[in-house]
């Protein structure tokens, strides 16, 4: 399996960010020398995927420490980064770790924040590796699986969450084929997951999101693996809009539906999905790909980026600790 270049690289005091908006057509790299460049990359989805957003933000704090030096300015930079995305929990987890370093250490903050950002990056990557083995252990030989959005190297910096399980499952001959949902409106499935699977040499088929019921009815799907952006104490899970629909269909067809996510996605401070804030995005994300729609007047657009799958529809949760059951008490 070809090793993919990581989507974030720290080199000589700068952060190089692979611009995921341009994939798979072009590999364009953003050179970030300031926290503001990182914040804008997160806001614009140049960098995306819950774990990777947390890692990028951590490096953003390291850049702020290099740029600004004083603790107060770095804390302001952390505040700026906290407002870049809203639903994915890893961002807040990573920024809390960075804030602790800034508040605990006296002096040499540029060095200490970089050490912490690198630790967050390495730990998230190691979590993916462990989860991938736990998840692959759920499967029998030769299964065909369905996945949604992008949960691979591009979303995590490591082997991936759901896609990590699929990759390991493929190497162990447990996964024979992957169905990839397009994932409207920003098509992270069609653009990013397909790109990663093709590079890894894993047989895959692209489908539109509205083909899932018809596909499941054929009996061709044995399991669904998806990632998560935030998981509440009771197991209610926010993930890319459309995940809930998949979980309902999987329940109808009695297909096991698994969430794969590191403990840093679990927000044990909220009891259930009703306490989650769901990010709503610009209507242009829906309209711009359809010629003429942007000019048409007299209609509204609703564009939530995530939905919440109730815990009862989730067969199991794969974290770095193994196959887990809610309630989740704390993330580390």
Which residues make up the interface to ligand MRU (CB under 6 A)? 48-51, 88, 149, 151, 155-156, 161, 188, 227-229, 239-240, 305
3-state helix, strand, coil in the chain (%, to 5): 45, 20, 40
Question: Running DSSP on this structure, what letter comes out for residue 145?
Answer: E
Q: Where are the alpha helices (DSSP H) in the chain?
A: 35-43, 50-68, 71-82, 90-104, 109-136, 153-156, 162-171, 188, 194-200, 212-217, 243-252, 284-287
- Cβ pair 16, 29 in contact under 8 A: yes
- Cβ pair 209, 14 in contact under 8 A: no
By beta-carbon proximity to ligand MRU, the closer residue of 7 and 51 is 51
Nearest to 281 by CA among 191, 211, 190, 188: 188
Taking the complex as a whole, how short is the minimal distance between the CB of residue 183 and ligand MRU, in angstroms?
A: 8
Taking the complex as a whole, how short is the minimal distance between the CB of residue 161 and ligand MRU, in angstroms?
A: 4
By beta-carbon proximity to ligand MRU, the closer residue of 113 and 124 is 124
The CA distances from residue 93 to 55, 100, 257, 269, 272, in Å, are: 10, 11, 26, 12, 18
By beta-carbon proximity to ligand MRU, the closer residue of 48 and 121 is 48
Strand partners, 17: 8, 30
The H or E element that residue 316 is part of is strand 316-319
Taking the complex as a whole, how short is the minimal distance between the CB of residue 102 and ligand MRU, in angstroms?
A: 26
Instruction: Tell me if residue 236 is catalytic.
Output: no
Strand partners, 318: 260, 323
Nearest to 41 by CA among 20, 67, 12, 10: 20
Taking the complex as a whole, how short is the minimal distance between the CB of residue 224 and ligand MRU, in angstroms?
A: 12
By beta-carbon proximity to ligand MRU, the closer residue of 62 and 228 is 228
Among residues 209, 229, 267, 307, the one annotated as catalytic is 229
- The CB-nearest residue to ligand MRU is 227
Measured between alpha carbons, how far is 91 from 52 in angstroms, rounded to an integer?
8
Taking the complex as a whole, how short is the minimal distance between the CB of residue 262 and ligand MRU, in angstroms?
A: 8
Taking the complex as a whole, how short is the minimal distance between the CB of residue 163 and ligand MRU, in angstroms?
A: 8
By beta-carbon proximity to ligand MRU, the closer residue of 188 and 309 is 188
- Cβ pair 258, 223 in contact under 8 A: yes
By beta-carbon proximity to ligand MRU, the closer residue of 113 and 183 is 183
Q: Which residues are part of the catalytic machinery?
A: 229
């Amino acid at each position: 399996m070809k090793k993919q270049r990581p989507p974030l690289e720290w080199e000589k005091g700068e952060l190089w960010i692979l611009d995921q908006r341009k994939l798979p057509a072009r590999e364009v790299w953003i050179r970030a020398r300031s926290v503001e460049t990182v914040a804008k990359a997160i806001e614009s989805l140049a960098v995306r995927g819950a774990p990777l957003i947390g890692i990028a933000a951590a490096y953003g704090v390291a850049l702020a420490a290099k740029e600004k030096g004083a603790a107060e300015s770095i804390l302001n930079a952390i505040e700026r980064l906290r407002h870049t995305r809203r639903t994915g929990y890893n961002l807040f987890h990573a920024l809390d770790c960075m804030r602790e370093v800034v508040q605990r250490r006296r002096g040499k903050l540029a060095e200490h924040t970089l050490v912490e950002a690198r630790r967050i990056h390495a730990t998230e990557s190691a979590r993916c590796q462990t989860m991938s083995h736990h998840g692959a252990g759920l499967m029998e030989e030769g299964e065909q699986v369905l996945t949604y959005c992008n949960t691979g190297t591009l979303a995590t910096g490591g082997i991936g969450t759901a896609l990590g399980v699929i990759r390991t499952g493929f190497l162990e001959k447990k996964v024979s084929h992957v169905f990839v949902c397009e994932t409207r409106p920003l098509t992270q499935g069609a653009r990013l997951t397909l790109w990663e699977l093709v590079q890894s040499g894993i047989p895959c088929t692209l489908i539109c999101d509205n083909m899932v019921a018809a596909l499941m009815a054929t009996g061709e799907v044995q399991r669904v693996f998806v990632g998560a952006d935030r998981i509440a104490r009771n197991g209610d899970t926010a993930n890319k809009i459309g995940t809930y629909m998949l979980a309902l269909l999987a329940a109808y067809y009695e297909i096991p539906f698994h969430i794969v996510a590191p403990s840093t996605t679990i927000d044990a401070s909220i009891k259930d999905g009703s306490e989650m804030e769901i990010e709503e995005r610009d209507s242009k994300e829906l309209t711009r790909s359809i010629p003429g729609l942007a000019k048409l007047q007299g209609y509204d657009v609703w564009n939530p980026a995530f939905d919440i799958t109730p815990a009862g529809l989730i067969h199991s949760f794969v974290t770095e600790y193994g196959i887990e059951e809610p309630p989740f008490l704390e993330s580390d």
